[in-house]
Amino acid sequence: MKPAPFAYVAPRSLGEALALMTRHGDEGKALAGGQSLLPVLNFRLAQPAVLVDLNAVPELELLAAADDGGLRMGALTRHRQLEREPLVAARAPLLAEAVHHIAHPQIRNRGTVGGSLAHADPKAELPALAVALRARFKLQREGGERWIDAADFYTGLFSTELQSDELLTEVVWPAQPAGSGWAFEEAARRHGDYAQVGVAAIVRLDDAGRCADARLVFLAVGDGPLVASRAAAALVGEAPGEAPIAAAANVAGEEIEPRGDVHASPEFKRHLARVLTARVLRRAFARATDAGQAEAPRG
Amino acid sequence: MAEPLREPATSLSVTTHVNGVEHTRSVEARLLLSDFIRHELGLTGTHVGCEHGVCGACTVLLDGEPVRSCLILAAQVDGREVTTVEALAPGPEKLHPLQEAFWDSHALQCGFCTPGILMTLVAYLRDNPNPDEEAVRLALSGNLCRCTGYQHIVDAVLLWAQRAAAVGTVAGGSAADTAAPKPESSRA
């Protein structure tokens, strides 16, 4: 298999990259890690006239602590860095936990955070994680920039707010408030395969140990990251325990709209969603409880 | 921006080090690294299976880290270091210790997946010289083998680890020395 012919250009600065996107964005594609784009090119499902290779743009390589306790990440941050960098484990531990589910080391060595977020594959982990963690994306075009919340960025199947002359250049992963717990789970037929269902949970306990805030975001069961807001709302005000977790899991199973495929019926995916939701909530509440105890004064 | 814009080109010149040898070729922009290695350089040890990043047969090292060569353009390795399975054995009469362990454990049947598995594993074992069985299976999860059922491949890796540990004790060297070279740059 060979991609259809295209012209290739590798800019050496962000300014040049943005100028090239202005000139070629309509007929071209930005190439980051290429782990989703190259298969599409190899199958000739896409035949862009121009590829703008971002891999030599130094401004897109960034991994730094944000002032608010969160994390700033350039678009060229590789999945492998999520796995290996202590700063990620310290400031966005949900990413470090989830990244092992993303494909295989050979893919993670190349695949980028910006590429995955912009590609908006409904089965990809990072878009759902970005919505769960309330990440913010920096979108730049020649002579301008804007910031957008992850939840507003995704507009449908492989569809986003990103315009053809724009690049997603940076992601900010905000710090989670005190008393927060988090967890990620997915079910795939083999390790590293695309998920049949995946879910991220973030919960926060108040001083009395009751759930003050909860967020459940699914992947692979909708056109994009799917926020299960009814299931999350069922948890608020409850003390962590098996009964509220089971209730929320049941609501989540109803709230998602999975499509059946050759490997799994919609009913089976709803079952997976209930099981995985219960698992992530148990772990997230346990972490939130531990976090609360660690903060409490010791007598 | 004062700088002039580069012009997109459908063919370009690539200079890359493959197994320590510098090669310069004029290539089509759309040429995949896997086809560059096989057709331009004649290094047919790198096998091409699915050509969309699923099977792992085309795995090579790019600056010391395993990647799918079917998901990288030849144009993207300009100035970089590529290592293929041909670099493993020190000579025609002697195998790499991991290849030796594959032989001894009957870890290949048709052999199509073997180069990709070896290249995946040399990098993995460089970083994790003493894995248990579960870790080996996880490390292999990105490489498909349709003959062996994986059991003898897992056995081979554990045999390598056992031998490497023994060598390490006697010679005082690290087991990782027998695996892959360290990446030259920290670029991920």
Mean pLDDT of A267-274: 97
Closest CA to B115 of B181, B34, B24, B185: B34
- Per residue in A173-203, pLDDT (tens digit) is 999 999 999 999 999 998 888 999 999 999 9
**More confidently predicted of A133 and B172:** A133
- Per residue in A209-223, pLDDT (tens digit) is 999 999 999 999 999
Could you say which of A5, A6, A43 has the minimum Cβ distance to residue B52?
A43
Residue type, position A29, single letter: K
CB atoms within 10 A of CB B118: 25
SS3 B42: coil
**Nearest residue of A to residue B141 by CA position?**
A191
- B90 has a pLDDT exceeding 60: yes
- Per residue in B134-158, pLDDT (tens digit) is 999 999 999 999 999 999 999 999 9
Mean pLDDT of B49-54: 95
Mean pLDDT of A1-30: 96
**Block residue for tokens 């690290």:** B174
- d(C-alpha A141, C-alpha A156), whole Å: 22
- d(C-alpha A164, C-alpha A25), whole Å: 5
Task: Please give the pLDDT value at position A39.
Answer: 96
Contact call for B28 and A5, based on CB within 8 A: yes
Mean pLDDT of B101-123: 97
Residue type, position B143, single letter: N
**Block residue for tokens 């089965």:** A123
- The rounded mean pLDDT for chain A is 96
**Nearest residue of B to residue A38 by CA position?**
B71
- d(C-alpha A43, C-alpha B7), whole Å: 26
Using a CB-CB cut-off of 8 Å, the residues of chain B touching A13 are 1, 3
Task: Please give the pLDDT value at position B187.
Answer: 41
- d(C-alpha A57, C-alpha A12), whole Å: 5
- A297 has a pLDDT exceeding 90: no
The answer to whether the predicted template modeling score (pTM) of the entire model surpasses 0.90 is yes
**% of chain A surpassing 70 pLDDT:** 98
Mean pLDDT of A270-274: 98
Please give, rounded to a whole number of angstroms, the shortest distance from the CA of B30 to a CA of chain A.
6
CB atoms within 10 A of CB A141: 19
∠ CA(A156), CA(A159), CA(A164), 5° rounding? 155
Task: Please give the pLDDT value at position B4.
Answer: 80
**Strand pairing report for A71-74 and A159-160:** unpaired
- HSE at residue B68, side-chain half, CA atoms within 13 A, is 29
Contact call for B9 and A9, based on CB within 8 A: yes
- Per residue in A73-112, pLDDT (tens digit) is 999 999 999 999 999 999 999 999 999 999 999 999 999 9
